[in-house]
Amino acid sequence: MRTQVVLLAVLSLILSRPAGAAGGDGAYSVANIPASLLKNAHVVKRMEVERFDLKNPGEAVYSIKYALTILDEAGDDYAEFAVHYDKFQSIRSIDATLYDANGKEVRSLKARDIQDKSGVSENNLIDDDRMKEHNFYCRNYPYTVEYSYEMKFTGTMFYPFWMPLQDEHVAVQSSQFIFTCPADYQFRFKAFNYTGQPVQTQEKDRKVFTWQVGNLPAVTLEPYAPELRFLTTYIVFGPTQFEMQDYKGTMETWADLGKFIYALKQGRDQLPENIRATVHQMTDNEPDPYEKIRKLYEFMQKNTRYVSVQLGIGGWQPYDAGYVATKGYGDCKALVNYMYSLLKEAGITSYYTVIRAGRGRKSFLTDFPASTFNHVILCVPVKQDTVWLECTNQTIPAGYLGDFTDDRYGLLVDENGGHLVHTPRYGLRENLQVRHIKASLDEGGNLQVQANSTYDAEQQDDVSGLINTLSRDKVKEYLHENLDFATYDISSFDYREKKGRLPSVDESLAISVSNYATATGRRVFILPNVMSRARLRLKEDTARQYDVVLDYAYRDVDTVEISLPAGYQPEAMPPDVDVSNPFGRYRCSVRLLGNTLYYYRLREQYSGRFPATQYNDLVRLLELVYKNDRNRVVLVKKD
C-alpha cells in the first residue's frame, strides 16, 4: 500500500512536468536564457504550456502551466498569481514553486497560502466573480516562479486565446498551445503572426493541434501604436457548437451567434399594462418617428437607472421588460430590452445590438465570429436613417453615442440571426471646440477673463459628464482646481446643453487670474493664448517600429481679445505660424491694435493609420504647438 502511494506521488510529479522543461534540476537556471531574450526585458517566460481539452461541446478543461523568471524589481508584478473564476469556469489544482537564479527549488506553495477573494467588479451590484491569489514575494533577483492550474469550463461560449508575448518587457523562451477535441468536432481558429500550420496528431478518438513559438525577444510599446496583440503571435479560438447552462448554440457565422443571443432575449418584452398605456399616451398623437423615439427614450432615462446584477446565465440574458418596469433598474441588456419593448409597443421596430465598448474600436475581427462583446446598445432604423440609443446613461441625448461605442462594429440581432453593423463616426467636422475670450489686463498684471466656449460632439463628452454627474458646488470646485493658471478665482460660470444627435455644450466662465502677466519695471510679458495651451509632448524616436494610429480627430478654434493698460508698445511679438502635415494643422497669429491684443489659433488633429517612418512628424508638430502656445508678447512702456 505504502509503495503504491509513493509511486503515485512520483508519477504525478512526472506527469505534471512537461517533457524537456522540468524545473528543479536547474533547468530554470538563468544561465540557460539566451542573451537576446535578456535585452530590454524585466521578465522572461521560460516555458508555457496551455492545453484546452474540449470534452464535449458543453464542457472543457483548460490546463495552464508557466514559469516566469523575474529579472529585476520592475518585473515583480508578473510574479503575482491572480486568476478569476465564476459559475462557468471553476479553478482547481493550483501548484506553484519558487526557484532561485540557479534553478534550485526554494520552496513550493501550500494550499493555505492561496487567498480566495471576492472578484465583484466595482461596476456591478453583484456578480459571481471570485479570485484566487498568491504571491511568493521573492526579492532575490533573478528568481523564477512556476505555476500550474486547471480550469473547468461548464459554459463554452468563450474559448481562451493564445498570446505568448503578453506585455512589453517580457521575453518568451518557449510557449505552446494545445487544442484537443473529439475527432468529429469542428473548432475554429484564426492566427496572427504565426508562421506555418499547427502540428496535427491523434490521441485515441481525439484530434490534437499544437502551436509552438520560442525565443521571442521583449518588445517596448510605443505611443499610438496598434494593439500589441496584432503585432505579435496571437491566435483566437472559437466553437462551432457550444452551450451555456441550458442553452445550446452554434457560432460558425455571425447569424448563428445572433440566433443564440436572440433566443436568450426572446419573449422578454412583456410590459405591464400601465406602462403600455403610458407609451400610447405619449406617442399615439406624435407623427414624427424621431420625436416618438426621443420621448420614449427620455421616459426610459427618467424612470430607470443602471444597476448591474450578473449571476450565472444572467450575465448573458436580459431581465424581462416587466422586471425593469417595476424595479426601475437594470444592466445594459435589461435596459436595452426594456427600451426595445417600449418602442415595440409604439409600433417601432428596433434591434438589440451587442458591441465591444471602450478601447480598441479598430480591433474587431469581422471574419471570426466570437463573443468578444461587453455591452448592448439599441439600433432603431428610421426611414433612410438609423438612430442609436445608449440605454445605460440617464443624460446622453437620444441618438448620440459617445466615444464608448462610436465608430466600430457591433452585431445586430434579429429573429433570423443577425449581421454586423457599424456605428457612427464623429470626425473633424463634428468634434469642434470654439472659444472666444475677452479679457482685460490691469497695471498689476491681473487679468479679468470672460471665456465663452462651445463644445460639440465628442469634445462635449467630458464637459457634459462633468455637469451631469457633479453638483453645482462640485463643478465650481473642479473649475477652481483644474484650470491652467497659477492662482485664480472663478467669479461666475454657466453651462447650457443643446441636446440632439450631435449634442453641444455652451460654457461661460468669468475668471480673475492673479499675476497673469509678468510685469518687471517697464515691461509686461503676457501669453496671448489664455486657455488653450496644449500639454501633450512626445519624444522623438529614430527607431520607431510600429505604425502610428490616431483614433480621434478634432478641431479647436480660439479667438482672444485682451485690452491692455494704456501706454505700451510691442517690443517682441511672436511670429505667425501656419503649419500642416498629415497629422494635423496649426495656425496662430497675434496683433496689437491700439491698446488691444488680438490672438487667433486653429488646431486640427486628423485621425488615421500612418507609417512608422512618419512618427517624428507627429512629434515635431506637437512640439511646435506646445512651444507656440506658450509664446509670449513683450510690451514696453512708451517713454
Partner 1 sequence: MKSRPLLILAACLFIRLVSPAQDKVGFKYGEVSPQDFLPTAYPIDSSANAVVLADVGSTEIVGNNNGWFSLVFKRYTRIRILNKNGYDAANVQIHLYSDGRLEENLNNLKAVTYNLDNGTVTQTKLEKSNVFKDQLDRNWFVKKFTLPNIKEGSIIEYQYEIQSDFIHNLQPWNFQGDNPVLWSEYNVSIPSFLTYTFLSQGYQPFFIKDSKDKTMSFNVAESGGTTATERISFTAGVTTYRWVMKDVPALKQESFTTTLKNHIARIEFQLSEYREPLEYKNVMGSWKDMAAQFLQSEYFGDPISKPNNWLDDEVKPLIATAHSDVEKAENIFNYVRDHFSCTDHNRLEMDQTLKALDKTKKGNEAEINLLLTAMLRYARIPTDPVILSTTSNGYVPPLYPLVSRYNYVVARALINDQPVFLDASLPHLGFGRLMPYCYNGYARIINTEATPVILSPDSILERKVSSIFASFDDKGNLTGSMEQKLGYYESMDIRDRIKEKGKDALISEMQKAYGTDARIEGAVFDSLDNADNSLSMRYDFKTGQTKEDLIYLNPLFAEAWKENPFKSAKRLYPVEMPYAMDETYLLNFTIPDGYQVDELPEQVVVKLNEKGDGRFEYRLAVQENSISLRTRVVLKRTFYKPEEYDMLREFFNLIVKKQGEQIVLKKKK
Query: Pick from 106, 103, 108, 237: which is nearest to 173 by CA?
Result: 103
User: Among 16-24, 312-320, 412-420, 466-474, which window interacts with partner 1 (CB under 8 A)?
Assistant: 466-474
Residue-wise over 545-566: b if at least 16 C-beta within 10 A, else e? Answer: ebbbebbbbbbbbbebbbebbe
Q: How far apart are CA 473 and CA 208, in angstroms?
A: 63
Quick one: which of 92, 280, 474, 609 contacts partner 1 (CB under 8 A)? 474
Quick one: which of 2, 137, 197, 200 contacts partner 1 (CB under 8 A)? 137
**In the complex with partner 1, which residue's Cβ is closer, 367 or 473?**
473
351 three-class SS: strand
The verdict on 472 binding partner 1 (CB under 8 A) reads: yes
User: Among 50-58, 305-313, 456-464, 607-615, which window interacts with partner 1 (CB under 8 A)?
Assistant: 305-313
Phi, psi of 600 (to 5 degrees): -130, 140
Quick one: which of 204, 383, 535, 539 contacts partner 1 (CB under 8 A)? 539
**In the complex with partner 1, which residue's Cβ is closer, 39 or 474?**
474
**In the complex with partner 1, which residue's Cβ is closer, 74 or 277?**
74
**Cβ 485 to partner 1, closest distance in Å?**
8
Quick one: which of 38, 307, 577, 579 contacts partner 1 (CB under 8 A)? 307
498 three-class SS: strand
Quick one: which of 386, 394, 448, 563 contacts partner 1 (CB under 8 A)? 394
User: Among 180-188, 197-205, 467-475, 498-506, which window interacts with partner 1 (CB under 8 A)?
Assistant: 467-475
The verdict on 303 binding partner 1 (CB under 8 A) reads: yes
Do the beta carbons of residue 297 and residue 340 sit within 8 Å? no
**Which residues lie below 8 Å from residue 465, measured CB to CB, with a gap of 6+?**
none
| DSSP labels, 353-391 | EEE--SS-TT---TTS------EEEEEEEETTEEEEE-T
Q: Please, what is the Cα angle at 139 between 136 and 141, to 5 degrees?
A: 115
The verdict on 569 binding partner 1 (CB under 8 A) reads: no
What's the first-to-final CA gap in the chain, in angstroms?
109
Instruction: Report the site for partner 1 in 605-634 (rule: CB under 8 A).
Output: 623, 626-627, 634
The verdict on 74 binding partner 1 (CB under 8 A) reads: yes
**Cβ 18 to partner 1, closest distance in Å?**
27
The verdict on 522 binding partner 1 (CB under 8 A) reads: yes
How many of the chain's residues bind partner 1 (CB under 8 A)? 58
Do the beta carbons of residue 283 and residue 342 sit within 8 Å? no
Rg (CA), the chain: 30
Do the beta carbons of residue 421 and residue 430 sit within 8 Å? no
Q: How far apart are CA 456 and CA 394, in angstroms?
A: 19
The verdict on 126 binding partner 1 (CB under 8 A) reads: yes
The verdict on 138 binding partner 1 (CB under 8 A) reads: yes
User: Among 178-186, 397-405, 451-459, 482-490, which window interacts with partner 1 (CB under 8 A)?
Assistant: 482-490
Phi, psi of 517 (to 5 degrees): -95, 150
**Cβ 394 to partner 1, closest distance in Å?**
5
**In the complex with partner 1, which residue's Cβ is closer, 327 or 429?**
327
Q: How far apart are CA 173 and CA 551, in angstroms?
A: 34
Q: Where do contacts with partner 1 occur on this chain (CB under 8 A)?
A: 73-74, 107, 115-118, 120, 125-126, 135-140, 302-303, 305, 307, 309, 326-329, 394-395, 445, 468-474, 477, 480-481, 486-487, 489-490, 514-515, 518, 520-523, 525, 537, 539, 571-572, 623, 626-627, 634
